Each structure stands twice: as C-alpha cells, then as structure tokens.
Amino acid sequence: MTEPVIVIGAGPGGLAAATTLARAGAPVRLLDEQPAAGGQLYRASERIGGDATSPLKGWLGPDYGAGLPLIRAAQAEANIDWRFDTAVWDIRCDDDGIALGLLSGESVFQDRAAHVVLATGAQERPAPFPGWTLPGVLGIGAAQTLFKDAGLAPEPDVVLAGSGPLLYLFAIQLLNAGITPQAILETAPKNIAPSILPALFRAALRHGSSLVKGLAWRRRIDGSSVPHLYGITDLKAAGDGRVETVSFRHGGREHTLKTSLLLVHDGVMPNTHLTVAARCDHQWNDQQQYWHPTVDAVGRTSQAGLWLVGDGAGILGAEAAVLQGRTAGRALAADLGLTPPDAGTDAADRKALDDLRVLRAFLDRQYPPSPVFGAIADDTIVCRCEAVTAGEIRGLARRGCMGPNQARAFTRAGMGPCMGRQCGNSVGRLMAEELGQPVDQVGHYSARPPIKPVTLAQLASLAGKER
Amino acid sequence: MAEYDVCVIGGGLLGSAFGWGLVREGQRCVVLDEGDGAIRTARGNFGLVWLQSKGRGMPEYARWTLEATRIWGGFADELKDITGIDLHYAKGGYNIGADEAELAQMVANLNQIQSEMGDDAYDYEVLDQARLKREMPLVGDVAGATYTAHDGHCNPLLLLRAMQQAFQAKGGAYRPNSGVRSVEILPGGGFRILGQNGAELARAAKVVLSAGHGSARLAKDLGIDLPIHPEQGQVLVTEKVAPVMPHPAMSVRQTDNGSFLLGASKKEVDLDTRTDLETLATIAASCIRLFPFLGRLRLQRAWGALRVMTPDGHPVYQQSESHPGLFSFACHSGVTLAACHALHVSKWVIDGTIPDTYSAFHPRRFHV
Amino acid sequence: MFKRLVDIGTPVTFDFEGRPLTAQAGDSLASALLANGVLDFRQAPEDGTVRGPHCMIGNCFECLVEVEGLGTRQACRERVRDGLKVRRHSGRPVPGEQP
C-alpha cells in the first residue's frame, strides 16, 4: 500500500499511533498546527529537554519528561512525514474517504485519505463566572502553556481558583520555580466524601502510584506558605479593563484579594470541534458534563475510516493516550493487511488502559464540574464572542426554543470567532436545565467550516482545484 | 368543536409568518415545529428582501414580490412594536454585472419583467462603473449595476425570532419537538394531527401545510400535488468589520453586526446541508471579483442551506379541492414574502378561499 | 501579570501600537505581548469591553490582534518576528484600512 494514513495531532496519542503505524510499514503523514511535536501536555519538550541548562525541565517534573522519548521514538521512524504548522480547517467524510482542508503558513490546500487518526486532545472546560472576560483571567492550562512555551511565569500575586489535578500540578510547578502564589482557592471540598471511597479503593488497587503522587502534591502545597482554601463559592473577578480584585465566599464570609492575574480551572473536556464537524456520533458524559465521540474499543468512530485516540475521545490523560494510540495503530495496521508491531504487548496495553479508567473514575468523582462555575448567574456572559448572557439563553428556553442550534440562530451565541468552543457546553447545560430535559436530548451545536481561520482569498485559491 | 381554528405545520419562515398573521386576526392557532436538529431553511437564509431579477415569465410573481417590498417596512415596524426586536430592514439594492455581457443580460431581464408587468412596472436604474464606484467605493473593476429602491435586506434570523415571539405574545401556541406523522380528516369536518409516536398533537378546523421539505411526504399522503425539491445554497460569512456597505449587492451584503455574507450558489442535492470546498471556493472567488477587499477578510463560517424549490422557482399556494380547509404553501423566498404571508395569505386561510388573482400560483400550472 | 523566568531565544524587536517592544525568538505574539505587560489585546465588537488571552491553545479567539499584511490573527498561534507591526484588534476594523 502506498496511500498514507493521516494522523492529526502530534501529542502523546498521535505520536504513539503514528509510531505504531510506521513500524507496521504504513506511510504516515503526521499533521500538527504547532511548530513542534508534543501536543499541549508535552509542549516545547524538544527545546526544554534538549537544553541541559534549562531549569524548566526540573520545575515541570518527571511526568513532563515522559514526552521527549515519545517524540524521539517517532522521529526514528522514516515512514513518518512530519507536517508542522499545519491546521485542519475543514473535514468531510464521504464514501470515498476523508477530505481535509488544510492551512499551512499562508497557503491552503486539500488532502484526502482513506484512513485518518484524530488525536486532537482536550481543552479546559470553559468556566463562566462574573468577570471571567476580564483581561488577566486565564485558564490554569493557559498559564502552564506560557510557562512551557515561553518561560513566562505568573507574578507571586497570582491567585489560582477552581479544582482538578492540573490545579495541583501547576501549583507544584510554580513552587518548584520559587514562585509562591498569593492563594489557592479550591472549589472542591477538602475531604473525600464517603460515597467516593469505594472508587478511591478501586483506584488504589489498580493505580496506587498516581494516588500517592497526588497526595504528595497536596502535602507539598499544604506544607508551603501558600494559603489553600477549600470549598470556596461565589467567585468573582472585578477591575477596570483588567482584573484587579478577586472576591469569593469562604467560611461564611466574603473575602477580596488584590491581584493582577487570576488563573481558573474546572477540569478538561474533549476538543470535539473537528469530530462534530466530521459528523461523528457523540454521547454525553453526564458525570463530567461533556460531549465525546462514540468510539469502539480500539478507537473507530462512527465515520468509516476515521479513528480517534487520546483525550478527544474522553478524558483519560496522557499515559492512556499513548496506550490508545498504540492500540489503534495496531488495529488499523491489521485492517490495512499489515503485521502490527509489538502484538504481544496488546493485551498488556489494554489492561493498563483499564487500570487508568479505574483511576479516572475516582478522579472524575472527586473533581466533578464545580457548581461554582456551573450555576451561572443570569447576567453572566456565557458566549464571550457575542456577549450573550445566561439569562438570555434561559429566556429563550422558557419561550419554547428547543435546543442550542435554534438558540444560536436567535442570539448569535456560538456564532462568533470561537464558533461555540467556549459557550457550547454552557448553552447546552443551561437549556437542558431550563427545559427539564437531559442534555443529550437537548443536543449540541453543529460545527461548520472553517474549523481554523482562513481568509476568503485563501479559500478562493482552491477554486477549480478539488481533488 | 376543534381546539384550534388553524393548525400550522412547520415553524420556519413560512409557518411562523402564517401563525403570526393568523393570531394577528384573532384566530386560535397552533404552530407545530420539529426539534433542534431539523433541516431549517430559515437558518441558512441570506436575508435579502428582493425584487429585481424575480418573476420573469410570471408577472403575477413579480407583482406579488413588489407588493411584499411595499408592505415590508410596516410589517417590520409592527413586529418591533410588539417584540422590541429590530429587524434592521433597509431599502435599496444593487445587482452587479461583473462584465458588460452580464450587465446587458441583467438589463434585458429587467426590461422583460417590466413589459410583462404592464401598468405595474417599477422603476430601476442602470449604473455604469463610474457611478457605481461613487455609490459603492469598495467595488472592483466591474461593468456596472442595476439598482432599485424596492430591494433591501434584513436580519433573517431575527425575523424568524420576532415572528415566533409576536405569535406567542398574541396567544399563539408554539410547540417545538412536534414533528408530524400524519393528518387525519375528521368525518364531521376539521382535522386531527398526529405526532411521530402516533399521539394526537392537535385538532383544528383548518390546516396549513408549510413544513418546507417536510411538507412533501405529508402532501403525498394527503393526495396533494406539491412539486418541491431541495436546492442547496451555500453561504459564507466573514469576520466583523466597520459598516461600509449599507445596501446589499445581491450575492454580497453586509449585515447589521458587521459581517459580510456571500452566497448565490445553486446545487441540487438530496437533503445534504454540508458544504463542499469547490462550491465555497467558487463563491469566494466570484465575490472577491466584485469586491476585492473581501479577499483579506477572515472566513468566519460557511454553511449549506436547503432552499425549497418548485419546478419554475415560483411559489405554490393551494387549497385542497377534496378537503377544503387544508392549505399547502411552499416557496423559497420566505424572507421577502414574509410580509405577504403574514398580512395577506393568512387572510385567505381565514376566508377559506384563495382569491382568483392568485390562481396563477396553483401547481396546476405545471401540468399544462 | 507574567514575568520571564527562562530565556527561550535571541531578542526580537517588534512594533505594537507604534512603539517598539522586545520579545524572544520562539515567542508567540501572545507571550511576546504578555511578557511586556500587555493584557488587553482587543475590543469585543458586541459589548465594547477589552479582552485578552484566555485559553492559549487557539480555542477562545480572545487574543485577536491585527498584524500588518496579515489582517486579523490569533496572537497565541502566530510567532513573533523582527519588525512585525501589530495593533490591538478594534472589534470592527475598517476594511480599506486593514493592516
């Protein structure tokens, strides 16, 4: 066979899938919109890992260090054709394969393959609260990206708010770098609820090392001089043109802190823009309150030839993404009539993946989407692009608007530049709540091209050139 | 006695206009709409309230459209009074001829329409390149344009929202997630409408079938001749920019929020709302030829909309002869004709008869 | 605000709103501006409020800027280059005057 398999996303899942396919003898075209491999988690791994003098490697910790070997393993495969700075802005699944609109530098072009593996990862769950549109309010993941990518760190007046493993990890990374945040305002309670204990025990049996690591992080934070409050509510940011103060309730009282930077986090969710555009079947994870594509045990989506590995299929973390990438790579290689490499480790990979699912079941219960961000006040903006408030969405639902797509048409929520990536989750949840229906009955936004921005001139350059 | 005077099947631009027009006249009316994932032509509409280029070979349609543009302003004002929603309706529209041959063809079409309309002919202007550039400084090197003050544009999404809201404000019953499986004719007169699960949705003395593409199957079951087929139009929308183009140029218009809409593709497809790059690229290229500055703008969104087309592209308005009180209406110009549908056609339904003046819109015209 | 803890590349000079700013090769436009204390990147067209980077992975489109010769760009997805001329995004730029 000569037609390449296209892998989209050079993070852990995409790297593993590409490496496995290449080892089986399949030509692979590996696309990523970034200028280097690693995805979001292992971002800048080559620069940081390749520089013995960079202190970042030590600050970021051992988990981050797992990225470089993955990249090196893929780089050792001659069958992989690397295409960085290449964004997918259109996808269409037809009987004769999967057509992609690509953007590289300033030029657009089309590509087509019978088999495409998506490894498009996760995004931070949008966390609406009063003042969240102010400059200086960023995601914790966003700040971590700046830390890895540009060596930028928050000034010590930074306030971290929200919940989830990433909140702890980033706090540890800042402490490693000698930065003591002003405060950590955790929306989750301090203690593990009794109802979650069975999930904790199961996780301890299957993946105890991660729990030990998490406990050590927490102990390190609590042993530092950083004020760490649990169970805060009523988070608000205020300021004139940028964040200046953060207020919240804790212990029955309202508190206000002065800050120039508020970093928030309410967990992560699959990045579904591309899979929705490809019209894959999706399902609603009610516990984690996110949509994810339906995939089989090895990563096949509902669209023939379109595969999905990693957090894009449901949040399981980087270690799982690698296992999924290998599993999908082997299954796809077999479909292509090739001999899958390392077939002997397939069972072990699947077992390891199961262990990670058990761990995740505990993490999901301990860190559900917080009501601090989920109970959105009527005057809080949910669609940042078009400045549409939660109250407008609720009002529409009360007047018989039956779902997010009609709400989008009526309010323009989800029609702005981000095309609903920031408000889709909130709008669906708000409408479901108001209509008294489950979210999966209310539905989600459809996605239209372009998935990434192109100019009209770039689009027009394709006239008369379709493959 | 039926619970409703009229049941309107379909909550799109047609159904919402009929519903609004009917409650405006004091009728007890229910509008049955499908769910969020339904195929909705209304969401893909371009937003022109358009006269020139329409009705060649059928002066009744040209007159009907002229009437719509005449009453559209008052229609929009009334909706704003009731709902507070500004439809951003503005009059005046250009049709640009990229080259001399195209412009000559457009002028010939307009001349023919005027001669067919007789006493009802309307004024239009032909602008050469120099004058067009004075009126539209951003236009490229094109031959010229035709212009009428009757043409115009509005925000079609807000139009749908305003009609639905006005309908509800005047006591109309709007029922989403109510796809219709069948319409039963009751022995004593009137109709019983059944949902997809077979349960009764409503009983009404009269029924208006205006469910866009969904009408085809219901009409067939009821023995009504409703020759419609889907025609895909793809539309592109750009990032927002400062207001620089108050009047639409048929295939290009700037919306009230600053985006440019580009359109005018025609493609016969089988209920496929997806876009294809070849068509999108061709639309972009032809619109950039008219307005070169568009090339630098970012594409914000593209979508495929399914127009409801009749064999000659003109509306179909009919009442069942075997079952009086059962009306079926279909057309693609749901924005332009919204004013006529709300203010005139709904009265035909109330009166129980379609005036002879409009008999030309009966589908028997396809069988001569 | 943010401060640079680790250098990532050689100095690069670019122009923001008519004044020269220094960043480092490898910076995105977003990190280049944040390192210079710039938090507000654009004016939102609908409510007129100022906005700045929020997600840093190309999803939220809050970091839009105008780049000479390129038009509207996501600052987190554009790399800084010597001599690049960058302006805040005004929400609704005038098409004829777009950089």
For chain A, which chains pass the contact test of at least 3 CB pairs under 8 Å?
A: B, C
Of A32, A263, A7, A291, give the one whose Cα is nearest residue A145: A263
C chain contacts of residue A177, beta-carbon cutoff 8 Å = 5
Sign of CA dihedral A218, A223, A228, A231: positive
- pLDDT < 50: residue spans in chain A: 466-467
Chain B (255-314) residues lying within 8 Å, Cβ to Cβ, of chain C: 257-258, 293, 296-298
* A437 close to B (CB below 8 A): no
Looking at residue B37, its pLDDT comes to 81
Contact at CB, A417 and C31, closer than 8 angstroms:
no
* pLDDT tens, residue by residue, C57-85: 999 999 999 999 889 999 999 999 999 99
The predicted-structure confidence for B165-217, as pLDDT tens digits, reads as follows 999 999 999 999 999 999 999 998 999 999 999 999 999 999 999 999 889 99
Domain covering A135-266, topology: FAD/NAD(P)-binding domain (3.50.50)
Which of B243, B258, B296 is the closest to C71 by Cβ?
A: B296
Q: Binning pLDDT at 50, 70 and 90, where does residue C96 land? A: low
Distance from the A252 Cα atom to the nearest Cα atom in chain B, whole angstroms: 42
Work out whether strand A28-31 and strand A80-83 pair parallel, antiparallel, or are unpaired. parallel
Residues 53-72 of chain A whose Cβ lies under 8 A from any Cβ of chain C:
54-56
Cα gap A192→A227, rounded to integer Å: 20
CA distance C19 to chain A (A): 21
Of A178-182, A411-415, B35-39, B50-54, minimum mean pLDDT range: B35-39
Name which of B89, B84, B74, B73 is nearest B169 in CA terms: B84
pLDDT for B9 equals: 98
Domains of chain B listed by start with CATH number: 4-45+158-228+312-367 (3.50.50.60), 90-152 (no CATH), 229-309 (3.30.9.10)
Q: In which band, very low, low, confident or very high, does the pLDDT at C25 lie, cut at 50, 70 and 90?
A: very high
pLDDT for res B254: 97
CB contact A99 to B (< 8 Å): yes
Give the pLDDT of residue B41: 73
Here the tokens at position A420 are 């609903």
Question: For the structural domain made of A376-436, what CATH number should be given?
Answer: 1.10.10.1100
- Rounded to whole angstroms, the Cα distance separating B270 from A103 reads 30
Do A409 and B36 touch, CB atoms closer than 8 A? no
Using CB atoms, which residue from A137, A151, A387 is nearest to C5?
A151
Q: For residue A1, what pLDDT is reported?
A: 53
Domain residue ranges in chain A: 5-123+269-341, 135-266, 376-436
Listed residue (A433, A428, A440) closest to A403, CA to CA: A428
First to last CA, chain C: 28
Give the mean model confidence (pLDDT) for residues C10-26.
Answer: 97
Topology classification of domain A5-123+269-341 = FAD/NAD(P)-binding domain (3.50.50)
Chain C: residue whose CA lies nearest to A271: C59
Q: Which of B240, B244, B298 sits opposite C71 (nearest CB)?
A: B298
Element (DSSP H or E) covering residue A69: helix A67-75
Query: What pLDDT sits at residue A183?
Result: 98
Q: Is the bond preceding residue A189 a cis peptide, omega within 30 degrees? A: no
**Could you report the per-residue pLDDT of B212-228, keeping only the tens digit for each?**
988 999 999 999 999 99
Q: Which residue of C has its CA nearest to A151?
A: C6
- Record: contact C71-B297, CB cut-off 8 A: yes
Q: Is the pLDDT of residue B29 over 80?
A: yes
Nearest-CA distance B158 → chain C (Å): 16
pLDDT at B271: 56
Q: Does A112 touch chain C (CB under 8 A)?
A: no
Kindly report, residue by residue over B312-350, the tens digit of the pLDDT.
999 999 999 999 999 999 999 999 999 999 999 999 999
Calculate mean pLDDT across residues C80-97: 91
> Is residue A133 within 8 angstroms of chain C, CB to CB?
yes
Q: Residue B132 contacts by C-beta under 8 Å, 6 or more apart in sequence? A: B94, B96, B139, B142, B144, B145
Backbone region of residue B45 per phi and psi (left: phi > 0; alpha: psi in -120 to 50; beta: other values)? beta
Query: What are the structural domains of chain C?
Result: 19-90 (3.10.20.740)
Contact A241, A216 (CB under 8 A): no
pLDDT level of residue B45 (50, 70, 90 thresholds): confident
Round to the nearest angstrom and report the end-to-end CA distance of chain B: 40
Q: Which residues 155-214 of B have a C-beta within 8 angstroms of A?
A: 157-158, 160-161, 164-165, 168, 174-177
Which residues share a beta bridge with A261? Answer: none
Given this chain, do its domains A5-123+269-341 and A135-266 carry the same CATH topology? yes
